[in-house]
Amino acid sequence: MFSNLSAGALGLSLDHTQAIDLAAKHGFGGVDPDLAYLRGLGSKAAIAEHAASVQERGLSWGISNVPVALTAPAEEFRASLDGLPETLGLLSAAGVTRVGTWVRPMHDDLSYRRNWVLHVSRLHLVADLLADAGLRLGLEYIGPKTFWSTERFAFIHSIGEALELIADVGKPNIGLILDSYHWYTAGESAIDLVGLTDADIVSVDINDARDDRQRDEQQDLDRRLPGSTGVIDLAGFMDAVRAAGYSGPVKVEPFMKSLAELPVDEVLADVSSRLDRAINGPAA
C-alpha cells in the first residue's frame, strides 16, 4: 500500500498540478486523479503523457469519484450514463483503476430491503460498465449512529452489511473503502477484518476520533488526524489491512476545517508522516 494525497479529503483547494508537486515534495506514494483536468487535456495521447509524467515522479493514482449519479431518481441516473463511455475512456487512458463512493446509511422513504434493491440494481449495471474500462469500484460504509439513526429507515452502516451487498451484486470489481473512523463508530474490531484480501479492498482511509465523545455520540464530519487522540485502535486496524495484503492507496479524511488555515506544507508534512507511520507499522 502507499500513502495517497487527496486534497479534497483534506479540505484543501489545490489545483491538480499543485497537488502532484506537493505529493512528490512530501513523499506521498500517490495522488488522486482529477477528472476535469484529464478532460481538459483534450486527447488520449495527452492524457497518457500526463499519466506517464506523474508515474515518473514516483506517484501512483489514488481514487476518483464514481462518475454516475448512483442512487439518483431513475431519469437522473439514466442521464448520467449518457456520457459514461467518454468519461471512462479518459480514466482508462490515464491508467486510473479505482473509483469509489459512499453508501448513505439511512433513508426516509425506502425500507432497508427496498433500498437494498435500489443499490443492487444500480451497482449491478455500473460495475459491469466500469469493468469494461478496467476500473474497480469501492464502496464506503458510514458508521456513526448519529448519522444512520436520523431518518425513518437505517441502511448499511457496517462492514458485514457492505460485504453482503457486494456479494449480492456479484461483480468481482466491487470492493470496500475501509475507513478506521467508520470501523470504530460501527463498533467493529480487528476480528471483523479477518479474512479480507487485497481483492476485497479498493481504498483505505485512516482517521481518529474525538476523545471527549462516546462512540455513539461521534459525528461523521468531526474527526481527528490519525493517531492524534488514540481513541481508535489504528495499530489494530492497520495490522489487519496489512494481513489482507492490501496494495492500494491510504489517505486521511479528517473533516477538520482548521487544516485549511494552516500552511499547506505544514499540513502535508504532518499527514505524510502520519500515513507513513501507519503504513510501515511498528518498528521491528
The DSSP 8-state label assigned to residue 209 in this structure reads -
Phi–psi pair at 189, nearest 5 degrees: -140, -175
Task: Please say which residue, 154 or 202, places its beta carbon nearer to a copy of itself.
Answer: 154
Task: Please say which residue, 152 or 213, places its beta carbon nearer to a copy of itself.
Answer: 152
Pairing of strands 106-107, 153-154: antiparallel
Task: Please say which residue, 104 or 277, places its beta carbon nearer to a copy of itself.
Answer: 104
Task: Please say which residue, 152 or 257, places its beta carbon nearer to a copy of itself.
Answer: 152
Binding site for a copy of itself (CB under 8 A): 73-75, 77-78, 81-82, 84-85, 111-114, 116-118, 120-122, 124-125, 128-129, 132, 145, 149, 152-154, 158, 160-161, 164, 167-170, 186-187
The DSSP 8-state label assigned to residue 217 in this structure reads G
CA distance 189 to 219: 19
The nearest distance, CB 192 to a copy of itself, in angstroms, is 12
Task: Please say which residue, 19 or 178, places its beta carbon nearer to a copy of itself.
Answer: 178
The nearest distance, CB 153 to a copy of itself, in angstroms, is 7
Per residue, the 3-state secondary structure of 170-186, as one string, reads: CCCCEEEEEEHHHHHHC
CA distance 28 to 250: 10
| Residues paired with 136 in a beta bridge | 98
Longest dimension (CA), the chain: 55
Task: Please say which residue, 145 or 223, places its beta carbon nearer to a copy of itself.
Answer: 145
The nearest distance, CB 38 to a copy of itself, in angstroms, is 21
CA distance 146 to 106: 11
The nearest distance, CB 107 to a copy of itself, in angstroms, is 12
The nearest distance, CB 206 to a copy of itself, in angstroms, is 22
Task: Please say which residue, 52 or 72, places its beta carbon nearer to a copy of itself.
Answer: 72
Question: Measured between alpha carbons, how far is residue 156 from residues 29, 49, 138, 140, 151 in Å?
Answer: 31, 40, 14, 10, 13
The nearest distance, CB 43 to a copy of itself, in angstroms, is 23
The nearest distance, CB 181 to a copy of itself, in angstroms, is 16
Does residue 266 contact residue 10 with C-beta atoms inside 8 Å? no
The single-letter code of the amino acid at 242 is: R
